[in-house]
Structure 1
């Protein structure tokens, strides 16, 4: 963001709780978001908005049921059609940090 402040926009989510996106005031690209369940405790940054996005490869590809047929995700991180269960994909240390945030 070169000028102004990111603007929050709440959109519906699969959980029904909504998700708050913060967008660039100029181009409206999503920069980061907060899921309603955790609020501002957890920030999901859009890696493509970083100066060096190649430093952060994805851990998982989600909502791939809507990807274009020419997008090939084979041999990459796990691929799931919709959302996923953290307990099925996250390492124990990450799950423990998440539990600590829930308290």
Structure 2
């Protein structure tokens, strides 16, 4: 369902596959995973809680049963929501249609070509550690980042410095497509704000 910190796994959108919907769950911690045969903990909403807090529950989608073979592999598409950003370009967030938790984002650098997958939504989020910490200016004082990874108060000055060697071919393949995307977004930005 989420985590205290957003760790993004940056991946080509073409490599992301939606899976059939499953019961609403929260990933187990690394310690719980080692002692439990399950990979997650089932979540739910008490309808009375939703009523008493004047909220609509998002957890009312009926999942297919084993007897419902026709719908057993139904994939519920994420809900895409464009949010405002300081850059005035925006970011698009993909939300789970069942729990409305954020799954991934698209940013101005590559649009829908690159997915910033929220690592805490994975079954084993502890298997991905950050390579770099960005936007640390909004980090609360009680949060320490002492893992030796590079830190930047805003975005990194040159992302390419942080690409792992095994990703070079994949990054090169995206470069031309990103150029076309950036041309489109710059034109839209100029039309809207008459500057760049």
1:70 paired residue among 128, 142, 163: 142
Deviations 1:55-95 (A, max 9, x none): 11111111111111111101242211111121443346646
Equivalent pair of 1:19/1:36 in contact (CA under 8 Å): yes
Deviates more, 1:7-16 or 1:55-64: 7-16
Aligned to 1:98: 171
TM-score (norm 1): 0.79
Aligned to 2:123: 51
RMSD value over aligned CA atoms? 2.3
1:81 paired residue among 133, 137, 153: 153
Deviates more, 1:37-46 or 1:90-99: 90-99
**Which protein shows a greater Rg?**
2
TM-score (norm 2): 0.45
Structure with more relative contact order (C-alpha pairs < 8 Å, separation 6 or more): 2
1:21 paired residue among 83, 90, 93: 93
Deviates more, 1:84-93 or 1:9-18: 84-93
Higher helix share: 2
Aligned to 2:45: none
Q: Secondary structure at the residue paired with 1:62?
A: coil
